[in-house]
Amino acid sequence: MRKLLVALAVLVLSTTGYTQILEPVKWTTSVEKVSNTEYDLITKATIESGWHLYSQTVPEGGPIATSFIYDDSEGNITIVGNTSEEEGHTVNDPVFKMEIKYFEKDATFKQRIKVEEGVSTLMAFVEFMVCDDSKCLPPTEVELVFNLSENTKATAGTDSQNIKADTIESSSSQKDSQKGLWSIFFIAFLSGFAALLTPCVFPMIPMTVSFFTKQSKTKAAGIRNAIIYGISIIVIYVLLGTAVTGIFGADALNALATNVWFNIIFFLLLVIFAVSFLGAFEIMLPNSWANKVDSKADRGGLIGIFFMALALAIVSFSCTGPIVGTLLVQAASKGGLAPIIGMLGFSLAIALPFAIFAAFPGWLNSLPKSGGWLNTVKVVLGFLELALAFKFLSQADLVLQTHILEREVFLAIWIAVFGTLAFYLFGKIKLPHDSPLTHISVGRLSLGLLVLSFTIYMIPGLWGAPLNLISAFPPPQNYSESPYGVGFSKVSEGRQSNSNHDNLPEGAHLLAPHDIIAFNDYDKGLAYAKQVGKPVMIDFTGWACVNCRKMEQNVWPNPNVLNILKNDVVLISLYVDDKRPLELSDVVESKLKPGKQLKYIGQKWSELQTLKYKANSQPFYVLMDHNEENLIDPVSYTPNADDYLNWLKKGISNFGN
């Protein structure tokens, strides 16, 4: 009876003019029998046109990822591996400043299981988030049922349809993927040239080319052997990338690269690599490896040339190892063939000089002489490794929300690192393996000026400058000790002003960087509005809501809009994806889903929006009086600042009438 009443209530309320109860994703399940004990659970999402569903591997700090939870039926079911998914679309999101993968129209997920006898049904849950170009829906949980005893022939047909659909729909995704692979190849290629200019590799070029030209009976044979040598270098590094992908798997690499502990471990490794490059010690593979490989190289022929290339890879490891390790991890975050493509680009840059100078040995005379400049290149790479290391530590800190490496601290570290590098290039600092510096070359001076300019560019970031050139590296501006910069605590201007944060009403905070007094609690915000005699603006938002951030970044800064938000209304921001648990006294049964409890703060606000305003998308803005009656019809995403301003003015003008 209770369920019937709730359903009738929702039906009646849904007739109001601003109804926005949206369900853009429909879920269906099927089962494919693999053997007597193994099954593939297939979950298909059918997505309405214009909407997109996020992948399972969204980077930390991005929108809510799709996730599956399978019931193991008290140990009678074993989940094998991870849930696989289709290729989807990958885009570089300008709001989250990261690459995000999502699906359009439909998506198929597959999970293999092993079952004991007597199990015929499996229960599961999928939590997901969807957005379109103007709004996002809060995280939603749907129950899934898999009947293991059903006829599975239809499943095969569904799969074939999915394959055809995927073939048609993935063209843009393939273009995005190809673009990402080309960028990885280019970065790896440049890294390979950087590795060439290190003390471990550069001196080997004239030595190796001279060996081939002198030992070969003809010039053509010398060129051929040098080319085979270069190809062997490429094969060795590509095999390394293939091994990494094969051992861990493309999907596992992507998930690993977004893992907190992986980021911390890689931070420590990069610091060790950087300290090695700076001259504290050398990281070397066992000498016995090099000796064994050298003995094989004496055999001659193609096998001997291959082992000569392998000897180069082992001997030069102290210089190339840190670069190769960094490239592999960066490529792993892309998944798929990225590690292989990365190693192809890196090895190609190393192999080319050997083939080119073997063909034109006279060009060897144009090479600069080996000397102290090679160690300078190595030291510069060490500083770059050290700076990059803190990017990985920052990602772990953001996920754990420890607030140890906030934006100001990160920028201070980078300013110190690159400032020290500038002093080093100007000859003011000397490291263990540096040669005496009698003068500064034009190239070194130019690089020093470039690094110094970059260091100075970062300094205003401590006072709130956006630093668009490096926006992908430091934490976001709202993840800081003070969103306005070091030593400056800005407060609201205009009629509503506070001397410092201590003067804020109970339960309120200043919403940075706009200085709007805001509440995250409905009751406290409403009580304060009654106290100061102002209307209430409820902002149903989400931490992972792209269009919410667009409104805050592009519409709210409009001077007229900002003046109203600061002075004429009381803002209550309710985050529907807030995963913090409710106090035990606040845990209640859902009115939309009887029998299910509301356990999280976000669930409480999401249900409030759905029941009271018949809407479940964000952003969603409500202007109301002290009796909680609307002053004007609510609005959602409104990218035009003038339209949004007119909505605010009209609603406020109705207050008190």
In this predicted model, what pLDDT tens digit does every residue of 108-165 receive, in sequence order? 999 888 887 767 778 888 888 888 776 778 778 888 888 877 644 333 333 333 333 3
Q: How far is 598 from 141, CA to CA, in rounded Å?
A: 12
pTM greater than 0.85 (yes/no) = no
**268: Cβ contacts below 8 Å, ≥ 6 apart:** none
Q: Give 284-298 pLDDT, tens digit per residue.
A: 656 665 566 556 555
Which residues in 401-425 are b (16+ Cβ under 10 Å) and which e? eeeebbbbbbbebbbebbbbbbebb
HSE, side-chain direction, 13 A CA sphere, residue 422: 14
Report residue 22's pLDDT band, with 50, 70 and 90 as the boundaries.
confident
Q: Which pLDDT score, from 0 to 100, does residue 491 have?
A: 41
Mean pLDDT calculated for residue range 643-647: 93
Do residues 238 and 309 lie in contact, with contact meaning Cβ atoms separated by under 8 Å?
no
Contacts with 570 (C-beta within 8 Å, 6 or more apart), sequence order: 517, 519, 525, 528, 529, 532, 534, 535, 536, 537
Whether residue 35 has pLDDT greater than 70: yes
Flag whether pLDDT at 42 surpasses 60.
Answer: yes
Q: Which residue has the higher pLDDT, 259 or 441?
A: 441
Residue 294: the pLDDT is: 58
Task: In whole angstroms, give the CA distance from residue 13 to residue 137.
Answer: 19
d(CA 38, CA 508): 55
Residues 51-77: pLDDT tens digits? Answer: 888 888 887 767 788 988 887 766 678
Name which of 125, 138, 129, 149 is nearest 70 in CA terms.
125
CA dihedral 423, 429, 434, 439 (to 10 degrees): 60
pLDDT of 154 reads 35
Structure tokens at 159: 């799969």
| Mean pLDDT of the region 611-621 | 83
Nearby residues of 217 by Cβ (< 8 Å), 6 or more positions away: none
More confident residue, 173 or 433: 433
Closest CA to 26 of 159, 126, 170, 156: 126
613 or 205, greater pLDDT: 613
pLDDT for residue 12? 38
Task: At 397, give phi and psi (nearest 5°).
Answer: -65, -40
Q: Are 395 and 421 in contact (CB under 8 A)?
A: no
Contact 244, 328 (CB under 8 A): yes
Task: Pick the most confident of 178-187, 248-257, 547-556.
Answer: 547-556
Mean pLDDT of 506-523: 83
Amino acid 485: pLDDT:
52
Q: In terms of Cα–Cα distance, which of 127, 12, 55 is closest to 603?
A: 127
Dist. CA 130–CA 51, nearest whole Å: 7
CA 240 – CA 345 distance, rounded (Å): 13
Instruction: Output the CA angle 530-622-574, nearest 5 degrees.
Output: 80
In this model, does residue 223 exceed pLDDT 80? no
| Higher per-residue confidence, 321 vs 519 | 519
Cβ burial, residue 269 (10 Å; 0-12/13-18/19+): middle
Q: What is the pLDDT of residue 156?
A: 35
Q: Which residues contact 594 (CB under 8 A, 6 or more apart)?
A: 2, 3, 6
**Tens-digit pLDDT profile for residues 273-283:** 788 878 777 66
Euclidean distance between CA atoms 214 and 354, whole angstroms = 14
Across 184-202, average pLDDT: 77
Local structure of 79: helix, strand or coil: strand
Residue 326: its pLDDT value, please? Answer: 66
How does strand 67-70 pair with strand 77-85?
unpaired
More confident position, 95 or 405: 405
**Tokens standing for 407?**
């934006």
Confidence class of residue 15 from pLDDT cuts 50, 70 and 90?
Answer: very low
When pLDDT is averaged across residues 625-641 and rounded to a whole number, the result is 89
Pair of tokens at residue 105:
């129209």
Tally Cβ neighbours within 10 Å of residue 261.
9
Looking at the chain, the whole-number percentage of residues with pLDDT higher than 70 is: 71
Residue 527: pLDDT band (50, 70, 90) is very high
Phi-psi region of 103 (alpha: psi -120 to 50; beta: other; left: phi over 0): beta
Bridge partners (DSSP) listed for residue 539: 573, 621
Separation in Å, CA 212 to CA 310, 358, 363: 16, 8, 15
- Cis ω for the linkage preceding 594 (within 30 of 0): no
The stretches of 542-634 forming alpha helices (DSSP H) are 546-550, 559-567, 601-613
Mean pLDDT of 8-19: 40
Beta bridge partners, 508, equal 519
The whole-number pLDDT of residue 211 equals 67
> What is the CATH code for 25-169?
2.60.40.1250
pLDDT (tens digit per residue) in 434-453? 777 778 888 889 999 999 99
Q: Which residues share a beta bridge with 143?
A: 125
Structure tokens at 142: 């749907």
Q: Is 98 exposed, middle or buried (0-12, 13-18, 19+ CB in 10 A)?
A: middle
Neighbours of 270 (CB within 10 A): 24
Residue-level pLDDT at 334: 57
Partner residues linked to 618 by β-bridges: 136
- Quick one: pLDDT band at residue 333, thresholds 50, 70, 90? low
Mean pLDDT across the stretch 42-47? 90
DSSP state of 80: E
Token pair of 557, please? 């800064």
Better-scored residue on pLDDT, 455 or 405: 455
Q: What are phi and psi of 84, to 5 degrees?
A: -85, 160
Q: List the one residue out of 532, 492, 534 whose CA is nearest residue 512.
A: 492
Helix (H), strand (E) at residue 348: helix 338-359
Q: Residue 419: its pLDDT value, please?
A: 95
Determine contact, residues 347/233, Cβ cutoff 8 Å: yes
Q: Does domain 501-653 have CATH number 3.40.30.10?
A: yes
- Distance CA(518)–CA(516), nearest Å, equals 6
Q: Tokens for 209?
A: 């080319």
Residue type for position 407 = R
Q: What residue ranges do the domains of the chain occupy?
A: 25-169, 182-367, 369-488, 501-653
Amino acid 17: pLDDT: 41
Look at residue 306 in the predicted model and tell me its pLDDT. 77
Report d(CA 264, CA 267) in Å as an integer.
5
Burial class (CB in 10 A: 0-12, 13-18, 19+), 298: exposed
Burial 59-70 (b: 16+ CB within 10 A, else e): bebbbbbbebeb
583's tokens: 């106090």
- How far apart (Å, rounded) are the C-alpha atoms in residues 265 and 577? 30
Average pLDDT over residues 376-391: 85
Q: Residue 541: is its pLDDT beyond 80? A: yes
Mean pLDDT within 402-423: 90
Residue 495 tokens, joined: 């009629």
**Mean pLDDT score of the chain, rounded to an integer?**
75
Mean pLDDT of 555-562: 90
Half-sphere exposure of residue 389, counting CA atoms within 13 Å on the CB side?
22
Which tops the pLDDT comparison, 491 or 361? 361
* DSSP designation for 555: I
All residues at 6 or more sequence positions from 610 whose CB lies less than 8 Å from its CB, including other chains: 21, 592, 616
